[in-house]
Structure 1
Amino acid sequence: MKLPPELKTPLWFLGLQFELNPFSYLDTISKRYGDIVTVMSGSTPIVYISNPSGIKEVFTNTKEITASGALNQDFAFITGDKGVLQLDGLIHKNRRKLLMQAFHGARMQACGRGICELTEKMMNKQVIGKPFLAYPVIEEITFQVGIERVIGLDGGERHEKIKHLFASLLKLDRQSLIVKIFSKIFLEKDLGRWSPQGYLLHLRRELFQLLSTEVKERRQQTDLSHTDILSDLIFACDETGETLSNEEVRDLLLSPIFAAGDASGTAISWSLYWIHRLKNVREKLLEELDSLGQNPDPISIVALPYLSAVCNEVLRIYPTQLFTFPRLVESPIELMGYKLNPGTILIGNIYSTHQRDDLYPNPKEFQPERFLEKQFSPYEFLPFGGGSRVCIGATFALFEMKLILATILSHYQLELVSQRPERPKFAGLISSPASGVKMVMRGQRQDQGKSQPLAVGLV
């Protein structure tokens, strides 16, 4: 076996480097080792690839390279043992098809107006002149949209509890690596709700129990008018023609909600940062949005070319997901001139692919125009991964991203509190804004840019 150049950095130190600045560290690795590099995890080689032709082979060679669900077991704690990430083969294909129904076509379009109205409702709570963190506000919106789309709950006590539990689990997941290491060494045992591990387990049990209760109650209903994912799964059949168990249905709900709330919220927050950091980008967007007139149809908003280019450039320069889900070499293969043995793990490096000078000249500069001038292949631009593990909700994520941004830009005047660059914070697969994108509300924007004060007393 001839492996690609090996990164000599110990795994623990590599993790600390990511803690400090993931993008800068990946830039350093690419500059030193090129577009394919090996990291050893014990005796297992993990090969990271940022070459489009290499990524294409990984995604399309499904005979010698498999997208094994066993490689995603680390996520099972929060996505369930029978979540879509942990499934393989025909079962995985069947469950993906079931989940995707609610994220496409007329169903997706029907919720567009609701997304805009919810965004206005949340933004109207901000006080003029008082700084706020955009990231948690946006995440509140995306989680609410996700829970409604996936479970069909658009309010009420159970909706609020589920939203709180999802957000709490994510908050713990975003703890610094140093805190996680300390907890693992000294506080790994479950000592009850007041210990870190015990509290984490408590949150998980609470969330799983609430979802299980919702599944059981909905199973007993005969209302066929629901158009959410939960309803689809309850009435669906598996690959053998049998109905899914309650446990299977529950676990399949988890990943779409996490993705809808966390990844989408992160991408939109990064968008607000770039749009308000670069005056010319904001002005072009406002001109395009104003061309639609008052109260435009959501479908017209989604079709706007410059808005689409801005969203793509956000996902290029600061992708929320830095890496693809891992693949496993099952038979000896040759990849980019290297011979790899069975057991080798392959991971697409999304961030470094998006930083290639040959694909994206001046990659550190935010230039939405590049997406108006050229169409990139799914191996050159892959913010949602690719192949059989591509994000199920990718189309909906862009749909939601555009509508939330358009609503905020059209109706409100916001400013960044500081012009200092926003740093990324890496946690799991997601790279979020470290300081939360601190902004201030200056007023409402009406009639092509004329400022109007928000109603007094909104909090």
Structure 2
Amino acid sequence: MPLPNQIKTPTFVQVFQWVTDPMGFLEKVGQQHPDIFSSAVTGMNSVYVQHPAAIQELFTNPKKKFVLVPNQIVQAIIGDYGLPMLVGEAHRRQRQLLMPALHGDRMRSYGQLIVDLTEQVMSQLPLNQPFTARAVGQEISLQVMLQVVFGLYEGERYQQLKDLIGLMCAPLESPLHSSFLFLPFLQKDLGAWSPWGKYVRVRQQIDELLYAEIAERRAQPDPNRTDVLSLLLEATDQEGEHMANIEIRDQLFTLLFGGHETTATTIAWGLYWAHHVPEAGEKVRKELDSFGASTDFISIYRLPYLTAFCNETLRIYPAAFISTPRVLLEPVELLGHKLETGTRVLSSVYLTHHREDLYPQPKQFRPERFLERQFSPYEYLPFGGGERRCIGEALSLFETKLVLATILSRYELKLIDDQPELPASRGATTAPANGVKMVLTGRRVSQDRTYARTV
């Protein structure tokens, strides 16, 4: 049985278009097939849905028609035991072990650290000198990852990991080098100077450092530590079993890959929209100014316009344009199309976020749309949905909001030019093509809940 609305372009051409211009590829396809289409863009023939009714069927799975499958695209990065690679009971077990470290009261303990790291990075920027917002976001996010997740604050191992993680992420910045994620036959170790060979060696060095840290923590447990690694070392499942070292390693890589670059990208887009659409940025600042110099980070996190602003940032250019695949366990009719057992089905996050019937004038950045109505999890899904909803969502949003709140309320920035910033492929995710080029022009100083500009 043929797949619905099959894209006829040869597979290698589709992959090339996706790697070089994912937004352009999806928009062209979406114009032809607004609700459902089939493509081999990830190297395998799959059905992509962008209609909320089909996404609801996919995520809620009322009759167990769909089964989650491992995300092979990221296996080369996170290993065999990261959450995206697990299914069934193994997935549920790992998710239950990870959940307490990334939600609830743990967020409160991370707030001051995130704000302090943001101040530290911003204070090092010279006045009136160009920088890219994404580089700033990457630096903040990486330090949050090292301190909040890995529990490393200083020292030789901290610096080695910081440098190596930068080297590991660097190839993913290039569409050419990151193509190995979509084309497994390129994953060939041809020596230390080959792209894959270099990546493998950097990953091995990171592994050695992480396993050494895990061994030391197991030998000298500290119940007062609140970092994610320490909490994972203490966590036990229903049978009282602890996580194995390799499971902890792969979950750390999952959080690193899923949280570092994507959060940095969201921060960069947030700074872009706050200045490209200055009235939106001013509304954020006004809300923060009226809130005052509070250290109640949970209340800052819940501010309505800041929340709407971040939601719109994640809507218009989500870091992940597609969701985790599901496979049919039985024949299903979806949007009037009959699909056979074994068919891979994914939701197209970007196309759903740009439906005119859900988001009028979808290319316009307008946070107010999230104050005017509430969108269902099948209409707004920047973190995926169902059992595969990103487990790091709460931490990522908490970090993004506090970083943007700190920068926008305390610093004066401006874009270097007025040229629109567009997304580009960065491995399995996307990011601003030019990084969002800006300059720091001064600092806003709090004075009785108002802010005066200083240089």
Q: State whether residues 285 and 307 of structure 1, in contact with CA within 8 Å, keep that contact through their aligned partners in structure 2.
A: yes
TM-score with structure 2 setting the length: 0.94
Aligned partner (choices 439, 447, 452) of residue 450 of structure 1: 452
- Name whichever of 350-359 and 86-95 sits farther off: 86-95
Q: Distance in 2 between matches of 1:42 and 1:179?
A: 13
Cα gap change, 1:266 to 1:335, in 2 (>3 Å)? same
Q: C-alpha deviations, 1:72-100, integer Å up to 9, x for none?
A: 13312210111111111111111111112
Residues 190, 114 of structure 1: CA spacing in aligned structure 2 closer, same or farther, 3 A cutoff? Answer: same
CA distance in 1, matches of 2:44, 2:177: 25
| Cα distance in 1 for residues equivalent to 2:154 and 2:398 | 22
| Structure 1 partner of 2:381 | 382
State the AA in 2 paired with 1:48.
Y
Cα distance between partner residues in 2 of 1:185 and 1:227: 38
**1:33 to 2:24 alignment:** no
Q: Hey, what's the Cα distance between the residues in 1 that align with 2:44 and 2:126?
A: 53
For the pair 1:236 / 2:235, whether they are aligned, the reply is: yes
Distance change (3 Å), C-alpha of 1:294 and 1:228: closer
Asked if the contact 1:101/1:229 (under 8 Å) is kept, the reply is: no
Confirm or deny: 8 A CA contact 1:146 1:257 kept in the other structure.
Answer: yes
Q: What is the deviation of 1:188?
A: 6.1
Q: Deviations over 1:160-189 (max 9, x none)?
A: 2222222222211222237857xx899865
For the residues of structure 1 that align with 2:179 and 2:339, how far apart are their CA atoms?
33
Partner Cα separation in structure 1 for residue 187 and residue 393 of structure 2: 35
Match of 1:15 in 2: 15
Which runs of 5 or more residues in structure 1 are unaligned? 454-459
SS in 2 for 1:381: coil
- Deviations 1:265-312 (Å, cap 9, x if unpaired)? 111101111111111111111111110123442222112111100000
**Aligned partners of 1:90 and 1:239 also within 8 Å:** no
Equivalent residue number for residue 68 of structure 1: 69
Q: Tell me if structure 2 keeps the 8 A contact 1:15–1:177.
A: no
Paired amino acid for 1:283: E
Q: Equivalences for 1:61-140 in 2 at 5 Å?
A: 61=61, 63-69=64-70, 72-140=71-139
2:411 maps to 1:409: no
Separation in structure 2 between the aligned mates of residue 411 and residue 332 of structure 1, nearest angstrom? 56
Describe the SS at the equivalent of 1:111.
helix
SS across alignment from 1:356: coil
- The farther-off stretch of 185-194 and 365-374 is 185-194
Taking a change above 3 Å as real, the CA distance of residues 251 and 178 of structure 1, as seen in their structure-2 partners, is closer
Q: Distance in 2 between matches of 1:179 and 1:393?
A: 23
Q: Quick check: 252-261 or 114-123, which moved more?
A: 252-261
Q: Percent identity, aligned pairs only? A: 44
1:14 maps to a residue whose letter is Q
Q: Does 1:144 find its partner at 2:139?
A: no
State the Cα deviation string for residues 417-456 of structure 1 (Å, max 9, x = none).
0110112111233110111111001011124342112xxx
Aligned to 1:457: none
Cα distance change on mapping 1:234 and 1:451 into 2, 3 Å: same
Structure-1 separation of matches of 2:184 and 2:333? 40
The answer to whether residue 344 in structure 2 is matched with residue 342 in structure 1 is no
In the TM superposition, residue 17 of structure 1 has moved relative to its aligned partner by: 2.1
CA distance in 2, matches of 1:233, 1:43: 35
Instruction: State the superposition RMSD in angstroms.
Output: 2.2
- Check 1:13–1:178 CA distance in 2 against 1; reply closer, same or farther (3 A cut): farther
Structure 2: distance between partners of 1:325 and 1:218? 33
Task: Return closer, same or farther for 1:209/1:305 CA change in 2, 3 Å cut-off.
Answer: same
Q: Residue 272 of structure 2 aligns to which amino acid in structure 1? A: Y
Q: Is the 8 A contact 1:67 1:327 kept in 2?
A: yes
Matches within 5 A, 1:257-268: 257-268=256-267
Deviation at 1:51, TM superposition (A): 0.5
Cα separation, partners in 2 of 1:207 and 1:185, compared to 1, 3 Å: closer
Matches within 5 A, 1:237-256: 237-238=236-237, 240-256=239-255
Letter in 2 for 1:64: K
For 2:266 and 2:177, how far apart are their aligned partners in 1?
Answer: 25
SS at match of 1:415: strand
Amino acid at match of 2:454: Q
Q: Distance in 2 between matches of 1:106 and 1:407?
A: 21
Distance 1:189 1:323, change over 3 A: closer
In structure 2, what residue type is equivalent to 1:16?
F
Give the count of matched residue pairs: 450
**What TM-score does the superposition give when structure 1 sets the normalisation length?**
0.93
In the alignment, the residues of structure 1 paired with residue 187 and residue 232 of structure 2 have an alpha-carbon distance, to the nearest angstrom, of 36
* Distance in 2 of aligned mates of 1:217 and 1:225: 16
Relative distance call for 1:66 and 1:263 in structure 2 (3 A) is: same
Residues in 1 aligned to 2:44 and 2:244: alpha-carbon distance in whole angstroms: 36
Deviation at 1:115, TM superposition (A): 0.7
Letter in 1 for 2:67: T
Amino acid at match of 1:452: T
Distance 1:449 1:16, change over 3 A: farther
Give the secondary structure class of the aligned counterpart of 1:372. helix
Amino acid at match of 1:120: E
Could you tell me which amino acid in structure 2 is paired with residue 231 of structure 1? S
Distance 1:234 1:81 in 2: 19
